[in-house]
Amino acid sequence: MPVLLLSVLLLVSQPVADPLYFSKNSPECVLDRLAQGNPLPLIVVTEFPACPWNADDLAQVEIGRSYSHYSWWNFERTANLEIAATRLDGTILLPGEVFSYNEAVGERTEDRGFKESKVIGETGYIDGVGGGICQPASMLYAASLMAGLEIEERHSHRFRVPYMHVGLDATVDWGKKDLKIRNNTDFPVIFHLGQIDRGEFLVRVMAPVRTFRVHYKYELVKEVPSDSVQYEVDPQNRDLVHYYGRPGIEIAKTIWRKDIRDGKTRKVKVPNDEYWPSPWVLRVPSFPGGKKFRSGLSQGDIAGLLKGSKYTVRMARFADVDRDNREYIPIPHVPAKRLARFTRFSELPAKQEPAATTEVAKGTTAAGLAVQ
């Protein structure tokens, strides 16, 4: 009797005890084992998969994507971002497994290579080790959400960040706030994190097949203008506005997930996201009245402070937040020629720390654009 036929008969007579066996194991590997007359991996359930998927088997279809820019000229922030992204790149998540961002990236300490950069504090940006690691978290959250994976834990930032669509950001804090993603599909998925060109960040969630199609949109529930100003002494007399005083907003999110297997579409329940107003940060020759911070200001008061400059209160509104938004947020489009230049962070050469770093790139306006 042919060995392959014997293997099939043994398989039928001794069914696999683990119902997820064929989603945890590579079909190509299983068939290869059968062809070699070795049915044992099919009929003996072990703690570890007998025919594990490899990265090439998994990365057949892109099921989720997110795209953003980062300030490549800021060495400290870029170093933190790329350390985190490199540790995340290539992560394989088996069916039913839960991914933890904090576990994957580890504690953000200088001993582990992380630099001091700007992080979001109670009233705005402050210095802290690991500044920038929330951008990979946000990107991974957005890509996983669009892939239809189940989000078990996610926290929005205190203030809106400019590098992500509203409602698609995620903040992490060691020991306090985590990003957790469960693979609710029947097949493993793999995370690819990399760049197209310098400063272009792309996250791709890959799988053997697509399970879900997802549509996401938001509605603006509330908008609260900023009523505070923080002063910075600037002897160089640069632009008056260092950061816009962004309004606080509350949004209601709608996520529809269509299961390709049964054709059913389900609404995913998610809580509203709330972002606080951020203070205007103004550059001045000296602190007016000796005060570094003022709050409880009206829009007219702030307009008076901006008088004579090129800035207005209205410019602080988020250009991409529409009060009457009814459209679904599209998946970021990357032309095929540009996608061909995608290089994963784990494949990039190690970078040397520069002797001195610059604050911002030449010709870059800093008013609310740079996230340090």
Beta-ladder partners of 249: 223, 275
Cα dihedral 351, 354, 358, 362, rounded to 10, equals -60
pLDDT tens for each residue of 155-173: 999 999 989 999 999 999 9
Q: How far apart are CA 29 and CA 16, in angstroms?
A: 16
The answer, yes or no, to whether residue 180 has pLDDT greater than 60, is yes
Q: What is the DSSP string of 185-219?
A: SSS-EEEEEEESSTTEEEEEEEESS--EEEEEEEE
Q: What is residue 295's predicted lDDT score, i.e. its pLDDT? A: 94
Instruction: Check: CB of residue 63 under 8 Å from CB of residue 210.
Output: yes
Q: How far apart are CA 74 and CA 312, in angstroms?
A: 28
pTM score: 0.83
Q: What is the mean pLDDT of residues 19-36?
A: 71
Q: What is the mean pLDDT of residues 36-44?
A: 60
Chain-centroid distance of CA 51 in Å reads 31
The answer, yes or no, to whether residue 355 has pLDDT greater than 60, is no
Q: What percent of the chain is modeled with pLDDT above 90?
A: 62
pLDDT tens for each residue of 218-233: 999 999 999 999 999 9
Name, in order, each residue with C-beta under 8 angstroms of 321's C-beta and a sequence gap of 6 or more: 166, 220, 223, 249, 251
Count Cα neighbours of 250 within 13 Å in the Cβ-side half-sphere: 5
Beta-ladder partners of 171: none
In the predicted model, what is the mean pLDDT of the chain? 84
Dihedral of CA 107/108/111/114: which sign? positive
Query: Considering only 89-98, 220-229, 283-292, 325-334, which range has the smallest mean pLDDT?
Result: 325-334
Domain boundaries, the chain: 3-43, 55-347
The answer, yes or no, to whether residue 52 has pLDDT greater than 80, is no
Name the phi and psi angles at 200, rounded to 5: -105, 115
Q: What is the mean pLDDT of residues 49-57?
A: 77
pLDDT tens for each residue of 18-27: 656 667 777 7
